[in-house]
Amino acid sequence: MLHFKIFTISLIVILLTSSIPQNFADSQVAVIETKFGNMTVEFFPQDAPKTVENFIKLAESGFYDGIKFHRIISGFMIQGGDPLSKDNNMTQQWGTGNAGYNIDAEFNNIKHKKGIISMARAADPNSASSQFFIVHKDSTFLDGQYTVFGRLITQESYDVLDKIASLETNRDPASGAPVDSPLNYEDAEIHSIKIINYSEVPNPLDLGDPERVITHSILDEKGNYNSTELEFSFHAPEGWVAQEPQKTRPEIPDIVLVGPATDGFTPVISFLIEDKNNTSLETHIKDTRKNIQKLIDDGKLEILSEKTSDIKGYNAHATDAKGSFVINDKLFHLKYKEIIIKSGDKFYTITYANQEKNFDADLSSFDAVIDSFETTSQPKSGCLIATAAFGSDLAPQVQLLRETRDNILMKTYSGTAFMTVFNQFYYSFSPTVAQWERENPVFKEIVKVTITPLISSLSILNYVNIDSEAHMVGYGIGIILLNVGMYFVVPAFVIYRLKK
């Protein structure tokens, strides 16, 4: 991510907006005055109104006067806006300052092409303040993760950008100054930022509308994600932001959900989709373990538990782990839960990471994502309501349901046909009921008491010999009639007798 101090490979939020008209002749623009000339910036208030308002307010107050472009990476971007960069004796802290407050993200679908000006931020999407960066070379892998709010609109602006980006910078981490900071501080100084009317700009370039991102899949208005390309879908928890990174390396997640930050850390749920390539789940797990074995050997990561189980009818492996890591010069004690699901010709790795002290608080959001997770390569067949009622996929009652389904019902044509029809009905309401169970302990207990007789009746199938379709149909009808009697006939008879 493009933090206040460093840039790493980042994630892209999938948020699309409608096409936005550009500035009119009487709109405001910013003129950034430097040693090499002026950079004139037009704003995109329709895409980022609060960000534009904040930038203009800071500029008109003189906040940016004397601030330096403290981070310069030729071929990528120049970054400024840190008030601490006014003091040459505080170089070690350059990149950590702000305006004393944060503003909410206004991610949009404008591409990070050369000349675009965008807000720098920390891991929290809503941590932008005063720092901004100007793109020196097209960097579309940033699209959607940072708030784009303007772009350069004169040829002089691009010439000045090239000159600042070509300044000699510090490459020695042991020097005491930040890497990529300018060696000659004065050359990178912003003398002032003036706000003028667009009509006052001499010879503005006719750039047309900014280029915008078009994505193949997004969250709909109800928070659902559905990708035909990746062959899976899920429901995002309320308040979480969906991001889609550029796949520059195989281990980079395909989709990431970013939750509200707590104590300076942002919880994350990530999805990594990999082709199975005729590899078994067991072999895939061993290969994955090799990638983290050094962290385990060094004591930085501890495996708390791991188990192979059936999750929603999918063959899956769950791992719980914890570790301590330094992130942005701050020590965090993190906890992880990772579930690898085998479905069709793909492995789906779903990982939840959070601070250890806040892990349980957001665990229900992760559980809700797992409950809503579906792939197009395998029919739905999970036990959502029972899993939520008994608290675990490994609960004896849940395992009984799965064993009955897999070892008895699915072994016959009539049983398979019944499960196909039943799943279509069951999945129309089971995710909602399971979510209610997690949110309301009383409701959970009511459901548990209600479904226990049903589960007990199904255990009968484990004690009979079913060796034909006729036997399956006969016992199946018998079980159905037994449950009709327990849930409807007996209660009706009792109510009738009480009234008598």
Quick one: 78 exposed, middle or buried, by C-beta within 10 A (0-12, 13-18, 19+)?
buried
Give pLDDT, residue 272. 92
**Domain ranges, residue 448:** 379-500
Q: Residue 310 domain-assigned?
A: yes
Q: Residue 14 domain-assigned?
A: no
Asked if residue 104 and residue 67 are part of one domain, the reply reads yes
CA dist 394 and 374 (Å) reads 20
Confidence class for position 11, pLDDT limits 50, 70, 90: very low
Q: What are phi and psi of 319, to 5 degrees?
A: -130, 135
Which strands form 255-258's sheet, in the order they lie side by side?
A: 241-243, 255-258, 268-275, 346-355, 330-343, 314-327, 301-311
Could you tell me what percent of the chain has a pLDDT over 70? 89
Rounded mean pLDDT of 20-47? 80
Q: What are phi and psi of 322, to 5 degrees?
A: -145, 160
Cβ proximity of 97 and 91 under 8 Å: no
CA dist 337 and 387 (Å) reads 17
Confidence class for position 136, pLDDT limits 50, 70, 90: very high
Give pLDDT, residue 217. 45
Sign of CA dihedral 465, 468, 471, 472: positive
Q: Residue 34 domain-assigned?
A: yes
Could you tell me what percent of the chain has a pLDDT over 90? 39
Please report where in the chains the tokens 């395998």 appear, as a residue: 378
Q: Residue 11 domain-assigned?
A: no
Residue 423, pLDDT > 90, answer: no
Pick from 28-37, 249-258, 259-268, 351-360 the range whose average pLDDT is largest. 28-37
pLDDT in tens, 305-315: 998 877 777 78
Which strands form 374-375's sheet, in the order they lie side by side?
A: 224-227, 232-235, 374-375
CA dist 292 and 297 (Å) reads 9
Give pLDDT, residue 84. 96
Asked if residue 84 and residue 51 are part of one domain, the reply reads yes
Asked if residue 309 and residue 417 are part of one domain, the reply reads no
Q: Residue 209 domain-assigned?
A: no
Residue 44, pLDDT > 60, answer: yes
Q: Residue 15 domain-assigned?
A: no
Asked if residue 325 and residue 194 are part of one domain, the reply reads no
Asked if residue 363 and residue 402 are part of one domain, the reply reads no
Asked if residue 60 and residue 95 are part of one domain, the reply reads yes
Give pLDDT, residue 366. 93
Residue 5, pLDDT > 60, answer: no
Confidence class for position 411, pLDDT limits 50, 70, 90: confident
Confidence class for position 165, pLDDT limits 50, 70, 90: very high
Asked if residue 241 and residue 178 are part of one domain, the reply reads no
Asked if residue 366 and residue 384 are part of one domain, the reply reads no
Give pLDDT, residue 435. 75
CA dist 377 and 379 (Å) reads 7
User: Mean of the per-residue pLDDT values for the chain?
Assistant: 83
Give pLDDT, residue 152. 97
Asked if residue 418 and residue 371 are part of one domain, the reply reads no
Instruction: Read off the tokens for 357.
Output: 């002290």
Other Cβ atoms within 10 Å of 64 Cβ, number: 23
Rounded mean pLDDT of 224-241? 86
CA dist 283 and 274 (Å) reads 14
Give pLDDT, residue 432. 79
Give pLDDT, residue 8. 27
More confident residue, 461 or 353: 353
Give pLDDT, residue 19. 30
pLDDT in tens, 173-217: 776 667 899 999 999 999 999 999 998 999 999 898 898 876 544
Which CATH number is 226's domain given?
Answer: 3.40.1000.10
CA dist 197 and 65 (Å) reads 20
Domain boundary among 375, 397, 414: 375
pLDDT in tens, 234-289: 999 888 888 777 666 677 888 988 888 777 678 899 999 998 888 888 888 888 78
Which CATH number is 160's domain given?
Answer: 2.40.100.10
Q: Residue 23 domain-assigned?
A: no
Give pLDDT, residue 87. 93
Residue 399, pLDDT > 70, answer: yes
CA dist 42 and 396 (Å) reads 64
pLDDT in tens, 465-495: 887 888 888 888 888 888 888 888 888 888 8
Q: How many CA atoms lie within 13 A of 96 on its CB side?
A: 10
Asked if residue 179 and residue 47 are part of one domain, the reply reads yes
Rounded mean pLDDT of 103-129? 93
Asked if residue 437 and residue 333 are part of one domain, the reply reads no
Give pLDDT, residue 15. 28
Using DSSP's 3-state secondary structure scheme, residue 65 falls into coil
Rounded mean pLDDT of 346-359? 92
Sign of CA dihedral 42, 45, 51, 55: positive
Domain boundary among 375, 395, 424: 375
Domain boundary among 375, 390, 417: 375
Give pLDDT, residue 328. 47
Domains identified in the chain, total number: 3
Asked if residue 414 and residue 455 are part of one domain, the reply reads yes
